Every structure is written in structure tokens, then in C-alpha cells.
Amino acid sequence: MKPSKDISRLLEIMAALRTPVTGCPWDVEQTFETIAPYTLEEAYEVADAIARGDLDDLRDELGDLLLQVVFHARMAEEQGEFGFGDVVEAITTKMIRRHPHVFGDDAARNAGMAKGMWNRIKAEEKAEKRASRLARGLDPEDHGSGYLDSVPVALPALTRALKLQEKAAQVGFDWKDAKPILDKIEEEIGELREAMEKQDRPAIEDEFGDVLFALVNFGRHLKIDAETALRGTNEKFRSRLHHVERALDASGSSLEKATLDEMEDLWQQAKGKR
């Protein structure tokens, strides 16, 4: 089998990999649940390639992410639920429906994207999903019934916190400005200290989460995305420790051999190079 730019070749490859006996044992035994973590990982790899400005890597990572879509679609097809073509039809239907000012009749295109149109279309889609769950004998209230339930659970925690806060703010449940949130952060830190003094592990974790949530909210009011800010800090930490590592290597030492004081001195040097 030869590579191809045609999506049908990728579908053929996945079908072959999933074929019992003649396929790949690892691919055959996978399920939606076991593949889901890889799907998230590949999405992060795409974001990483974009952040690094590496378009060659972006091409490859987008392919890896596409493979995840094909993998899930193939497993669903094997269960008689839907295939890759149905996935394509679903998203094209959604995009056309959500952009009547682009794909609609002349009147819709001339009107443009009227205020409230997007929310009305989303509400219609939500109602249709509810009706679909009912038709399939599922409880429509098990999922998506609450105002915040449209925020995906699988999002990175910091991003989900931001999305939950943004959605709550749309109905007025929000701080008026950033300053009072600092008081809230200090309050949450105080509660974390109390939990630590009591050595209450579940409470410590709970209060720690509250501090993080409040910090995300504070960042939102400062127009700072917590995920982006933390990503920058992560890279700064990596770069500085790499400076320490290289300096130690140059002196014939290593991270494992150096004392904490030696590493701290080199760390301060790295900070000075900023």
C-alpha cells in the first residue's frame, strides 16, 4: 500500500490496521476510552508546533490529529453507529448552519451575522440534541441540561476554569473588576493554610483548587489567559534549568553532582540573562 494525498487511503489503512487476525494487534484491541488520551495528546502537539512556529512539524502533527479522528470513526463504524463520512457531513452541516450570512440566501447574506443569531442557532442545536437523546431512549437530562454543561470536561483544567467563568459572566455572575479578586485569593490562601495546619489532605487539595480557580479569574479580569501565562513560565523554567545544566557540564559537574547552592548561583545567572 502506497501513501496518498487522498483521504480514502488513510481510511483504508485504518481499516486494515483494525482487521482482526491480519491487522495490528495493538490497534485491534483499542477502544474509544483507550484512544481518547492520545487524541488529547495529539491536540497538544499541534498547539506546541504552532507555538514554536515550526510549520513542518505542524503538518505532521495535524496528520497525527487527523488519524485520531479516523481511528474513532472506524471504531464507531465497526459498531454500526457512524463512519468517517458521517463525521464530515455533521461538521459541514454545522458550519453551513452557523454561518447563514455566508452560506444562506441573499437576504441572510445581506443582513450579516445579526446580534443574537449565533446564540439562537446554538439553542436550536441543543434542542435537537435533546430530542435525539429522547428518541434513542436516553435521559436528556443526564448531559447538557445545565447552563455550564456545554463547557467540555476534557479541557485542560485551567482552560476549563476560564471557560466556566466566561460563561457565568455572560449572565452577570462575575466580579465587577479585578481588585476584589485579590482579596478573594488571599482568603483562599488563608483557608489553604488552615487546612495545612490541620493536615487535612482532602481539604488541602480542595482549597488548593480554589486558589487556582481564583487566580484564573484574576487573570481573566487582567486580560491574561492562565494557560498561556503558565505555558510561558514553564518554558522559562525549562530554559533556566537548561542553562544551569550546560554550565555544570562545562565545569565537569552535573545536575546530579552539584549542590543546591551551586545550582542556585547558576540559576540566578540565568535570570540575569533575561
CA torsion sign, 200 to 205 to 207 to 211?
positive
For residue 192, the tally of other CB atoms under 10 A from its CB is: 19
Which overall architecture, per CATH, does domain 157-224 show? Answer: Orthogonal Bundle (1.10)
Contacts of 21 (CB under 8 A, 6+ apart): none
**More reliable by pLDDT, 135 or 232:** 232
How buried is 234 (Cβ within 10 angstroms: 0-12 exposed, 13-18 middle, 19+ buried)?
Answer: exposed
Q: For position 268, what pLDDT does the model report?
A: 93
The reported pTM is 0.61
The Cα 90–Cα 209 span in angstroms is 37
Which CATH number is associated with domain 7-142? 1.10.287.1080
* Nearest alpha-carbon partner for 209 in 169, 158, 149: 158
Which amino acid, residue 118? W
Cα(87)–Cα(32) distance, integer angstroms: 15
Q: Identify the pLDDT of residue 161.
A: 95
pLDDT digits (tens, 9 = 90+) for 72-85: 999 999 999 999 99
In Å, how far are 30, 93, 120, 171 from 113, measured between CA atoms? 43, 17, 12, 22
The Cα-based distances of 89 to 11, 82, 132 in angstroms read 16, 11, 17
At 170, the amino acid letter reads: Q
Q: Which residue has the higher pLDDT, 256 or 1?
A: 256
